[in-house]
Amino acid sequence: MNKVNVDEEWRILIGGEHISTTDHYDIVDPNTTEIIGHAPEATVEHALAAAAAAKEALSSWRALSMDERCEYIRKAADAIESQCEDWVDLVQAETGATIKVARTMQVAGAFVDRFRYYSKPFEMNEPLPPLYSAASALAPESLITGNVLRQPAGVVACITPYNFPLVNVAGKIAPALAMGNTVVIKPAPQDPLAIIKLGEVLNEVFPPGVVNVIVGSSPEVGAALVDSKDVNMISFTGSSQVGAKIMEAGGKTMKRLLMELGGKGALIMTEDCDVQAAVGGIASVWGFHSGQICTAPTRVICHREIYEPTIEALTAVSEFMTLGDAREESTLVGPVITETHRDRIEAFIQSGINDGAEVIVGGDRPQRDGFFIAPTLLAGCTPEMHVVQEEAFGPVVVIMPHDGDGHAIELANESDYGLFSYVYAGNTTRAYEIGEQLESGNVALNSIAPHMYAPFGGFKMSGVGRDRGKWGLEAYSEIQAINWPS
């Protein structure tokens, strides 16, 4: 039974005021299909009002020093940390995450850490070296010096996905606020309730209008933010298809863009790699949050000499990927976010079968309530197949053989995506030589673990720009050069 109060009133946040909406829509627990709440249905007018409120708050917020802004973020981190444990049941219910993922990843861990990280000021400005300038018709002879400054981009609309709602929002608004921007948060419609809770906490810390939260199921609400002249920048995480539409629409008003989009992570295994280590890495993400993670290594490119042993090892490890009630501690694989998404993944798997792929593991719908997909392994795949080229965003892994490093690199790069790739080889030198030839924004060698403060973003259709670390601050800034004669 859910521990969430289905009758709780949820409101949007505009200019420091919590506002009730006329209409609402249902939020469904993917694990049980029960309605757990009624989210506010914001209108286009609400979205435009939020953008206007953020614009009004911008001048006083950006006038603060970075030290002062970071102190606000530190206070926000303290306030969040003192309350967020109370949000676990809510986050688990609206995302369908297993209780372990909800407790350790969705609510704690990376969520709070991102506020903590950006609560420490960075030096963003740098001097220009002096440059001799000969006399000309424009100016007398002089020695020109100057500074390069990082100025806030302005009002940032943060449009976030459903897989890790709190973590994604934190990763956007913490650097944006530290840099001197104001924000309008537009969470994914499937699971916005925890973001509303977050907005309530942040509204107690930040000046009115610095943080605004808009919730709605209509695409028109997000589109209004993209079109608004009060919005200077769009920070979007989601599908490449939606990202392309945002890029086109935002171009009309020259919006600055930061977009982390789809992925089809390649994992290369050389003939001398540690097969068990590679399989363990694949398995750790295969069913993690039911495969709803853009960095997942879903395209295994395995040397032909170890192809069959790898399939056998993946088959064996799949038996330990317990699928079941997301509220049970023993469950490793929970549901996907909606019935529609489950149906899409099932059609994705069927397209692979129709194209000649062989189902080694899974491929069927578990007989239980909720939006569940069994972890699925498809072998006999070829590069042109839909299941090889497109993102499932579910617990589906495809495996293909390669005949050497050059062939593996060619197969890995034969994709429209380039977000995160992986190389397992007998030694780091060989893995590095392969990794630097991959068309991928991030590459991990002999490991699945990322560096959480390395620049993160994608090549090709996987995105525009980089966030995390100092690069996250730069992403939410404009470059300004100021020079003078000395």
Out of 294, 302, 391, 474, the active site residue is: 294
Q: Is residue 1 part of a domain?
A: no
Q: Is residue 2 part of a domain?
A: no
Task: Based on the fold, state whether residues 236 and 106 are members of the same structural domain.
Answer: yes
CATH of the domain at 139: 3.40.605.10
Task: Based on the fold, state whether residues 279 and 248 are members of the same structural domain.
Answer: no
pLDDT of residue 5: 87
Task: Based on the fold, state whether residues 149 and 211 are members of the same structural domain.
Answer: yes
Query: Rounded to the nearest 10 degrees, what angle do helices 193-203 and 165-178 cross at?
Result: 30
Helix (H, G, I), strand (E, B) or coil at 48: helix
pLDDT digit of tens for each residue in the chain (486 aa)? 567 888 899 999 999 999 999 999 999 999 999 999 999 999 999 999 999 999 999 999 999 999 999 999 999 999 999 988 889 999 999 999 999 999 988 887 668 899 999 999 999 999 999 998 888 888 888 999 999 999 999 999 999 999 999 999 999 999 999 999 999 999 999 999 999 999 999 999 999 999 999 999 999 999 999 999 999 999 999 999 999 999 999 999 999 999 999 999 999 999 999 999 999 999 999 999 999 999 999 999 999 999 999 999 999 999 999 999 999 999 999 999 999 999 999 999 999 999 999 999 999 899 999 999 999 999 999 999 999 999 999 999 999 999 999 999 999 999 999 999 999 999 999 999 999 999 999 999 999 999 989 999 999 999 999 999 999 999 999 999 999 998
Burial call 184-193: b when 16+ CB within 10 Å, e when fewer: bbbbbbbbbb
Task: Based on the fold, state whether residues 286 and 409 are members of the same structural domain.
Answer: yes
Task: Based on the fold, state whether residues 337 and 479 are members of the same structural domain.
Answer: no
Task: Based on the fold, state whether residues 293 and 241 are members of the same structural domain.
Answer: no
Q: Is residue 7 part of a domain?
A: no
DSSP structure string for 97-141: --HHHIIIIIISTHHHHHHHHTTS-----EEEEEEEE---SSS-S
Pairing of strands 477-485, 211-213: unpaired
Q: Is residue 3 part of a domain?
A: no
Name the amino acid, one letter, at 410. E
Structure tokens at 51: 């953008």
Pairing of strands 12-14, 17-19: antiparallel
CATH of the domain at 372: 3.40.309.10
Out of 41, 94, 260, 391, the active site residue is: 260
Helix (H, G, I), strand (E, B) or coil at 6: coil
Q: Which domain holds residue 132?
A: 12-261+463-485
Task: Based on the fold, state whether residues 257 and 221 are members of the same structural domain.
Answer: yes
pLDDT of residue 105: 85
Task: Based on the fold, state whether residues 360 and 247 are members of the same structural domain.
Answer: no
Name the amino acid, one letter, at 277. A
Q: Is residue 5 part of a domain?
A: no
Nearest CA to 179 among 263, 260, 72, 281? 72
Task: Based on the fold, state whether residues 292 and 249 are members of the same structural domain.
Answer: no
Name the amino acid, one letter, at 439. E
Helix (H, G, I), strand (E, B) or coil at 403: coil
Task: Based on the fold, state whether residues 282 and 423 are members of the same structural domain.
Answer: yes
Pairing of strands 477-485, 17-19: unpaired
Render pLDDT for 254-279 as a digit per residue (tens, 0 to 9).
999 999 999 999 999 999 999 999 99
Q: Active site includes 294?
A: yes
Task: Based on the fold, state whether residues 228 and 321 are members of the same structural domain.
Answer: no
Q: Is residue 185 part of a domain?
A: yes
Q: Is residue 4 part of a domain?
A: no
Task: Based on the fold, state whether residues 275 and 256 are members of the same structural domain.
Answer: no
Q: Active site includes 84?
A: no
Render pLDDT for 460-469 as a digit per residue (tens, 0 to 9).
999 999 999 9
Number of structural domains the chain divides into = 2
Name the phi and psi angles at 141, rounded to 5: -60, 140
Q: Strand locations in 83-141, DSSP E?
A: 126-133
